[in-house]
Amino acid sequence: MKILVTGAAGFIGFHLCKRLLELGNDVIGLDNLNDYYDVNLKLARLNILKEFTGLSFDFIKGNLEDKELIISSFKKFKPKVVVNLAAQAGVRYSLQNPDSYVQSNIVGFLNLIECCKDNNIEHFVYASSSSVYGGNTNLPFSESQNVDHPVSLYAATKKSNELIAHSYSHLYKLSSTGLRFFTVYGPWGRPDMALFLFTKAIINNEPIQIYNNGEMIRDFTYIDDIVESLIRIISKPPNSDSNFDSYFPNPSSSWAPHRVFNIGNSNPTPLMSFILAIEESLGVEAKKIYLPIQPGDVPATSANTDLLEKWIDYKPSTTVKKGVMNFVNWYKSFYEI
């Protein structure tokens, strides 16, 4: 199968591309290689994917906002499935640079889904985020819950993606699946995420900053479990739900060929337990600075993944202890520590 993956040099995109290539798919990877975090890490990921160049991997450097590039890429490579993982990431950065979120996450998203519509794409899979649950405090978060109260611009752009995708599914019968990722971690992870920041600081004998005085809970989800879920999702485009009740509409379903799923571990972990796993993996106790919660952040996330597990017959199983250890081992190897 020929699959276009945007954000191919990103954390999740790299792992997904690598797995798709190993399974014998033809993959077109698109990424702008921006400097939101260390470009060298992105290039190192990309170099691994380029080992498949000439066999089953083609790379396009560019932005989703470049409409002509997206149109020409579809004409040249003729993908059958599109997985959109490209986005301006980060909740906190959206407070500093809101324009980049609108351009990448909304304008870019529209350019991409327009091409999907015009080129009869069989399945459009796109990254949403657990951040869409915003002000909700009813845990675990379920797809049937209202998500109309975002607490960051990043979350608002992801909710916009879901609304745009649903409208295209309705108008053009474009099968599309949105995935609300819950705190993905693992080897090759992003340097702006807690696991990377904490590991680096502890190794360098620097204090770690712990927000909300450590009273945080996250549904940490290991990258291999995410990729296995994505592989299964790609091969199962949604159809119209004949049981959809328009008098009592459930946000988790639709008469259109569109679905939104939580994709998490469904085993929420206190932040301090996560930090303990890092300390045990490194054999060092962290120096800690406790701070108030940051604007745009939420104290707890927890995923109800019943719908996804039923849809793809798979449940993530990697423990935090094992996942953190795998990351620490990768970090030491990559940075030659």
Q: Is residue 277 part of a domain?
A: no
Kind and range of the H or E run holding 83: strand 81-84
pLDDT of residue 295: 82
The domain of 52 spans 2-182+223-264+304-316
Query: Among positive and negative, which fits the CA dihedral 68, 69, 73, 74?
Result: negative
Residue 187 counted as domain residue: no
Tell me the torsion sign for CA atoms 221, 227, 89, 46.
positive
The CA-based angle 44-46-47, given to 5 degrees, is 65
Please report the DSSP string for 41-57 in residue order: HHHHHHHHHGGGBTTTE
- Tokens 């752009």 correspond to 157
How confident is the prediction for the chain on average, in pLDDT?
94
Cα 190 from Cα 193, distance rounded (Å): 6
Give domain status of residue 73, yes or no.
yes
Residue 102 sits in a domain of what CATH number?
3.40.50.720
Comparing 61 with 317, which gets the higher pLDDT?
A: 61
Does the pLDDT of residue 142 top 90, yes or no? yes
Which of 58-67, 218-227, 255-264, 288-297 has the weakest average pLDDT?
288-297
As a whole number of angstroms, the distance between CA 126 and CA 120 comes to 16
Per-residue b or e along 268-305, where b marks 16 or more CB atoms closer than 10 Å to that residue's CB: bbebeebbbbbbebbeeebeeeeeeeeebebebbbbbb
Positions annotated as catalytic residues are: 154
Asked if residue 292 belongs to a domain, the reply is no
Q: What is the mean pLDDT of residues 250-270?
A: 94
Is the pTM higher than 0.75? The answer reads: yes
Tell me the pLDDT band of 54, cut-offs 50, 70 and 90: low
Relative to beta strand 217-218, strand 176-181 is unpaired
What are the pLDDT digits (tens) for 106-123? 999 999 999 999 999 999
What's the pLDDT band for 99 if we cut at 50, 70, 90? confident
Q: Using the predicted structure, report yes or no on whether residue 21 has a pLDDT greater than 80.
A: yes
- Dist CA 14 CA 200 (whole Å): 22
Please say if the pLDDT value at position 296 is more than 80.
no
Total count of domains within the chain: 1
In a domain, 197, yes or no: no
Beta strand pairing call for 217-218 and 269-270: antiparallel
- CA 145 and chain centroid, separation: 20
Please indicate, yes or no, if residue 213 is contained in any of the structural domains: no
- The answer on pLDDT for 53 being more than 90 is no
Confidence check: pLDDT of 100 > 90: no
Q: Would you place residue 224 in the very low, low, confident or very high pLDDT band (cuts 50, 70, 90)?
A: very high
Q: Among 50-59, 135-144, 244-253, whose mean pLDDT is lowest?
A: 50-59
**Distance (Å, rounded) from C-alpha 69 to C-alpha 86?**
15
21-32 as b/e, with b when 16 or more CB fall inside 10 Å?
beeebbbbbbbb
Q: State mean pLDDT over 264-289.
A: 95
Please check the confidence at residue 92 and state whether its pLDDT lies above 80.
no
- Residue 145 forms part of a structural domain: yes
Average pLDDT over residues 187-197: 95
Residue 283 has pLDDT above 80, yes or no: yes
Whole-angstrom distance between the N-terminal and C-terminal Cα of the chain? Answer: 40
Residue 326 falls inside a structural domain: no
Where do we find the tokens 């959109």? 84
